[in-house]
Amino acid sequence: MAFSADPDHCPGQRIKCYSCNSVEDNHCNDPFFRQPQQTKSFPLVDCNDYCFKWAFQGPDGQKHLIRNCSTSLNMKMEKYLVCIAESRSSIGHLCFCNKDKCNSANSIRKQFHYTYYIVLINLVQLFYHYRYILLILPVLYY
């Protein structure tokens, strides 16, 4: 039996991921727009894990992107709906997602906007809660 911390992710559920590498095709870089009028189309691969978008600094010093299914990565770590920053480079990060065609730039950006707002709401709630406690404490001492 398999479990997932993500309620939207079912193990064995197949999704479609964009598959491209900006080293081989510059159109894979951001911005990555997939609109019907474009003549360039990137292959989609079937994936029963997570899609990923990996930004890294190549040996030439330029930013490169790889988009694919996470089963193509040779990693010995658990994958979650997160972005992992590289410690060696300011531009390096690896992001995972679990929806069809989610490894385009726009959908990953939207996902992290939602995360940002959730964190912001929690911080405001914590501030409000502790502000209330700090206002009551002086009254208790008199």
| Tokens representing residue 106 in the block | 């726009």
Domain count, the chain: 1
Residue 98, number of CB atoms within 10 A of its CB: 22
**6 is a domain residue:** no
- Compute the residue count for the chain: 142
Contact at 8 Å (CB) between 68 and 45? yes
**4 is a domain residue:** no
Q: What confidence tens digit (pLDDT) does each residue in 104-116 have?
A: 865 444 444 555 5
Contact at 8 Å (CB) between 54 and 94? yes
**84 is a domain residue:** yes
| Tokens representing residue 108 in the block | 């990953």
The type of residue at 82 is V
CATH code of the domain in which 98 resides: 2.10.60.10
Of 15-19, 56-60, 109-113, 120-124, which gets the smallest average pLDDT?
Answer: 109-113
The type of residue at 38 is Q
**1 is a domain residue:** no
Of 22-31, 90-99, 110-119, which gets the smallest average pLDDT?
Answer: 110-119
Q: Please state whether the predicted TM-score (pTM) of the whole model is above 0.95.
A: no
> Structural domain of residue 120, as residue ranges?
15-141
User: What is the structure's pLDDT at 91?
Assistant: 75
